[in-house]
Amino acid sequence: MSHKRKRPAAYDIAMVKAEGDHTVATEKCQTLQASMMQACKDQADAAYDRRRQRQGDAHGAPAIAGRPSLGRRRDSRAPNA
């Protein structure tokens, strides 16, 4: 039988908030001129990654590679539809 360490609820709450904040930040990037959009998204991604790392360190949770699929993320190379 496997003994997985259960993450604290505070970690899960913090991660849901971080994911929501990341979604809002990347959506705001969509309102910028094309020349500024990618830099904005890169900043939002970096902020999210830092936040995830801090939460993982604070709660002893293992770091998870990559950002979660948020379902509504758009490919930055795709034209706005």
Which residue, among 49, 58, 47, 52, has the nearest Cα to 15 in the 3D structure? 52
24: helix, strand or coil = helix
pLDDT of residue 64: 52
pLDDT of residue 80: 47
pLDDT of residue 78: 45
How far, CA to CA in Å, does 3 sit from each of 6, 22? 9, 32
> Six-digit token pair at 1?
């039988």
Digits of tens for pLDDT over the chain (81 positions)? 455 667 788 888 989 999 999 999 999 999 999 999 999 999 999 999 999 888 877 766 555 555 554 444 444 444 443
Specify the pTM.
0.62
Q: How far apart are CA 55 and CA 62, in angstroms?
A: 10
Q: How far apart are CA 27 and CA 21, in angstroms?
A: 10
